[in-house]
């Protein structure tokens, strides 16, 4: 494995150049919550242009960089937005801390670097897309990309560790419960609005246990995202929001009916309804990934994720060989300890470069 000095006197980072590390650090220094990605999009477009790509910001705010003029099209779709919360950008040895270092500026930076290393490779067109609003229910960046690009291959930028390839994500259904009733004395037998909200959550949890298989990817999994109750002395109200992670084949039309039946006196609304998506293993893209990981000295493995990603949006539309890949430990997503190993970042760049080159060799 080649080691390149980051700067004189600085730690040496295996596989990643000083310029490649600086790109990621620059991205982390720019806050980019959903709906506030424009400064990062401008930074990314300038970075991609400096690396020989044709770059622009599209109609919804995605940063798009393209390279090559002939051959099949590979779309490398990452996202620019991050979860809320400030994690100071800093280095601690090999580790680079910052909000988005794992989810998912690290994978997106690796896309840009791998494309730059590959260059205008004969027989392959590349489109690197930094999408907006992946962390929100709208996913408008990915949805817009399905109307502007029609790839032969797609790689989604999400953390998988450098030696694993993600083949699937569970689906998602967001549920919003609201109810109001006349204020009830605490000594009365009638349940308060807060109690009724808790009862609804307990009934939802019991309902989800009726859906499921032997593995987590096959189960319907509920998460209570927030709960709030208040009273003005005349009216009690309660608001509860939850997320359901959907297994493959889950019929959300039936599920919605059953959920509303649990709360006949409340308002129940739904959003973010995305089906699960699972890609096949035996595709030229996956085979090229496996070959590239082995060539780097790794033992490749597959992952199925319990969250969602833009794969859920674009996979069913593009219907092409697809996989998710990127450096980082996904258990650090959205946490105050979010950080990325720079050695792993370098490994991922090399694997991506070899994977893309392998597509032109008919792997």
333 a catalytic residue: no
Instruction: Please give the helix or strand (H or E) that residue 63 lies within, else none.
Output: strand 63-67
Check: CB of residue 103 under 8 Å from CB of residue 80: no
Q: How far, CA to CA in Å, does 7 sit from each of 16, 24, 43?
A: 12, 15, 22
251 a catalytic residue: no
Return d(Cα 252, Cα 275) in angstroms, integer.
9
Q: Of the residues 134, 163, 274, 344, which is catalytic?
A: 134
Q: Of the residues 81, 158, 163, 310, which is catalytic?
A: 81
Judging by beta carbons within 10 Å of its beta carbon (0-12, 13-18, 19+), is residue 137 exposed, middle or buried? Answer: middle
Of the candidates 184, 126, 142, 113, which has an alpha carbon nearest to the alpha carbon of residue 272?
142
The residue written with tokens 């940063």 in the block is: 63
Check: CB of residue 296 under 8 Å from CB of residue 351: yes
Residue 56, phi then psi, degrees to nearest 5: -160, 165
Residues near 137 by beta carbon (within 8 Å), at least 6 away in sequence: 174, 271, 272
Check: CB of residue 62 under 8 Å from CB of residue 146: no
The residue written with tokens 């309902």 in the block is: 207
Q: How far, CA to CA in Å, does 169 sit from each of 70, 172, 276, 299?
A: 32, 9, 6, 22
DSSP secondary structure of 229-277: EEE-SSEEEEEEEEEEEEPTT--HHHHHHHHHHT-TTSEEEEEEEE--E
3-state secondary structure at position 201: helix
Enumerate the active-site residues. 81, 134
């Amino acid at each position: 494995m080649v080691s390149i000095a980051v700067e004189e006197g600085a730690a040496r980072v295996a596989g990643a150049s000083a310029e490649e590390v600086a790109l990621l650090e620059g991205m982390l220094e720019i806050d980019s919550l959903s709906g506030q990605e424009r400064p990062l999009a401008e930074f990314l477009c300038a970075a991609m242009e400096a690396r020989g790509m044709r770059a622009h910001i599209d109609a919804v705010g995605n940063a798009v960089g393209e390279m090559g003029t002939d051959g099949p099209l590979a779309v490398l779709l990452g996202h620019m937005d991050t979860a809320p919360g400030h994690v100071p950008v800093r280095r601690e040895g090999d580790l680079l801390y910052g909000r988005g270092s794992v989810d998912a500026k690290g994978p997106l930076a690796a896309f840009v670097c791998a494309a730059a290393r590959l260059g205008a490779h004969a027989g392959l067109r590349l489109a690197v897309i930094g999408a907006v609003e992946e962390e929100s229910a709208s996913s408008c960046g990915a949805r817009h990309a399905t109307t502007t690009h029609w790839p032969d291959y797609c790689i989604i930028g999400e953390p998988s560790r450098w030696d694993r390839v993600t083949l699937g994500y569970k689906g998602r259904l967001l549920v919003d419960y609201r109810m109001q009733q006349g204020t009830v004395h605490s000594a009365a037998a009638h349940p308060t609005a807060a109690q009724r909200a808790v009862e609804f959550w307990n009934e939802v949890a019991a309902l989800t246990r009726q859906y499921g298989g032997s593995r987590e990817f096959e189960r319907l999994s509920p998460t209570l995202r927030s709960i709030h109750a208040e009273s003005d002395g005349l009216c009690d109200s309660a608001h509860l929001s939850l997320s359901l992670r959907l297994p493959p084949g889950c019929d959300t039309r039936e599920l919605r009916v059953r959920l509303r039946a649990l709360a006949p006196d409340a308002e129940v609304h739904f959003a973010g309804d995305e089906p699960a998506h699972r890609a096949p293993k035996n595709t030229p893209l996956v085979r090229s990934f496996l070959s590239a990981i082995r060539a780097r000295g790794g033992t490749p493995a597959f992952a199925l994720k319990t969250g969602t990603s833009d794969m859920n949006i674009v996979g069913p539309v593009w219907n092409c060989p697809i996989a998710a890949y990127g450096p980082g430990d996904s258990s650090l997503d959205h946490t105050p300890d979010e950080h990325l190993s720079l050695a792993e970042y370098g490994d991922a760049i090399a694997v991506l470069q070899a994977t893309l080159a392998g597509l032109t060799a008919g792997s």
